[in-house]
A and B are shown apart, each in its own frame.
Chain A
Amino acid sequence: MARAISKKNKIINSLIAWTIGLIIFFPILWIIILSFKTEGDAIRSPIAVIFSNWTFENYFVVQDRSDYFKHFYNSVFIAFGSTFLGILIAVPASWSMAFVPSKRTRGILLWMLSTKMLPAVGVLYPIYILFIALGILDSRVGLVVVLMLMNLPIIVWMLYTYFREIPEEILEASRIDGAGLREEILFVLTPMALPGIASTVLLNIILAWNEAFWTLNLTAAKAAPLTAFIASYSSPEGLFYAKLSAASVMAIAPILIMGWFSQKQLVRGLTFGAVK
Chain B
Amino acid sequence: MSTQQSRSAAKLMLAPAVFLLMAWMLVPLSMTLYFSFKKYLPLRGGDLGWVGFDNYTRFVSSSSFWPAIGTTFLIVGGVLVITVMLGILFALLLDQPFWGQGIVRIMFIAPFFVMPTVSGLVWKNMFMDPVNGFFAHLSKAFGSDPIQWLSQESILSLTIILSWQWLPFATLILLTAIQSLDSDQIEAAEMDGARLLGRFWFIIIPHLARAITIVILIQTIFLLAIFAEIFVTTAGAFGTKTLTYLIFQRVLESQNVGLGSAGGVYAIILANIIAIFLMRIVGKNLSD
Q: List A residues at the B interface (Cβ < 8 Å).
A: 1-3, 5, 9-10, 13-14, 16-18, 20-22, 24-25, 27-28, 30-31, 34, 42-46, 89-90, 92-93, 95-97, 99-100, 102, 106, 108-115, 117-128, 130, 149, 152-153, 156, 168, 172, 181, 206, 209-210, 212-213, 216-217, 226-228, 230-231, 233-234, 240-241, 244-245, 248, 251-252, 255-256, 258-260, 263, 266-267, 270-276
- A244–B113 Cα gap in the complex (Å)? 18
Q: Judge whether B191 is part of the interface by a CB distance below 8 angstroms.
A: no
Please determine whether B285 and A213 come into contact, CB atoms closer than 8 angstroms.
Answer: no
Chain A residues closer than 8 Å to B172, beta-carbon distance? 263, 266-267
- Most chain B CB within 10 A, of A5, A18, A24, is at A24
What secondary structure prevails in chain B residues at the interface with A?
Answer: helix
Interface residues of B in 104-132 (CB under 8 A from A): 104-118, 120-127, 131-132
Cβ of A25: which chain B residues have Cβ within 8 Å of it? 106-108, 110-111
Least Cβ–Cβ distance between B178 and chain A, in angstroms: 7
Per a CB cutoff under 8 Å, which of B93, B121, B286 touches A244?
B121
B282 x A16 contact (CB < 8 A): no
Given contact pairs A13-B98, A92-B14, A118-B271, A226 touches B180 in the complex (Cβ within 8 A): no
CB–CB A272/B1 < 8 A: no
Write the nearest CB–CB distance from A197 to chain B, whole angstroms. 16
Contact of B116 among A125, A210, A272 (CB under 8 A): A210
Residues of B within 8 A of A (CB): 1-2, 6-7, 9-11, 13-14, 16-18, 20-21, 24-25, 27-29, 31-32, 35, 90, 93-100, 103-118, 120-127, 131-132, 134, 137-138, 140-141, 164, 167-169, 172-173, 176-181, 183, 186, 210-211, 214, 218, 221, 224-225, 227-228, 231-233, 235, 244, 247-248, 251-252, 257, 260-261, 264-265, 267-268, 270-272, 274-275, 278-279, 281-283, 285-287
- Rank and list the top 6 A-B pairs by shortest CB-CB distance, nearest first: A92-B13, A212-B228, A259-B113, A123-B28, A126-B31, A100-B10
- Interface contact A212-B227, CB-CB below 8 Å: yes
Contact of B126 among A34, A152, A263, A266 (CB under 8 A): A34
